[in-house]
Amino acid sequence: MKKSSARMSSSEATPKRKLLITGLVLVASIGAIVTMVWNARPAPAGGRQSAPAEAAHEAAPPQPTDTTQSSTKVSRPGMKLAAFEPTKPNAQPHPEKMPTGMVWIPGGEFSMGVQTPVDVNNVGMQATVDSLPVHRVYVDSFFMDKTDVTNAQFARFVKATGYVTVAERKPRAEDFPGAPPENLVPGSVIFTAPDHPVPLDDHFQWWSYVPGASWRHPLGPKSSIAGQDNLPVVHVAYEDAEAYAKWAGKRLPTEAEWEFAARGGLAGKPYVWGDEFRPNGKWMANTHQGNFPNSDTGSDGYIGIAPVAKFPANGYGLYDMAGNVWEWTSDWYRADYYQHLAAEGVARNPQGPDTAFDPSEPGDTKKKVHRGGSFLCTDQYCSRYMVGTRGKGDVDTGTNHLGFRCVMTLSQWQAAQGGISGQASHGR
Distance, in Å, from the CA atom of 383 to the CA atom of 155, rounded to the nearest integer, reads 32
The pLDDT assigned to 391 comes to 93
Q: Is the pLDDT of residue 71 over 60?
A: no
Q: Return the sign of the alpha-carbon dihedral for residues 413, 418, 420, 422.
A: positive
**Average pLDDT in the 359-388 region?**
90
5 compared with 272, residue with greater pLDDT: 272
Query: Confidence band (pLDDT; 50, 70, 90) for 25?
Result: low
Q: Indicate the length of the chain as a whole number.
A: 428
Q: Is the pLDDT of residue 256 over 80?
A: yes
Least confident of 54-63, 167-176, 181-190, 198-207: 54-63
| pLDDT per residue as tens digits for the range 94-114 | 888 999 999 999 999 999 998
Distance, in Å, from the CA atom of 71 to the CA atom of 121, rounded to the nearest integer, reads 6
- The neighbour count for residue 101, using CB atoms within 10 Å, is 18
Query: Confidence band (pLDDT; 50, 70, 90) for 22?
Result: low
| pLDDT per residue as tens digits for the range 207-244 | 899 999 999 999 999 999 999 999 999 999 999 999 99
- Report the side by side order of strands in the sheet with 142-145: 102-105, 142-145, 407-408
**Average pLDDT in the 376-392 region?**
90
| pLDDT per residue as tens digits for the range 303-342 | 999 999 999 999 999 999 999 999 999 999 999 999 999 9
**Average pLDDT in the 6-33 region?**
48
**What residue type is 52 in one-letter code?**
P
- The neighbour count for residue 356, using CB atoms within 10 Å, is 22
- C-alpha dist (Å) from residue 404 to 52, 251, 272, 366, 415: 20, 11, 17, 18, 23
Query: Confidence band (pLDDT; 50, 70, 90) for 83?
Result: confident
**Average pLDDT in the 419-423 region?**
47
Mean pLDDT of the chain: 81
Q: Is the pLDDT of residue 63 over 90?
A: no
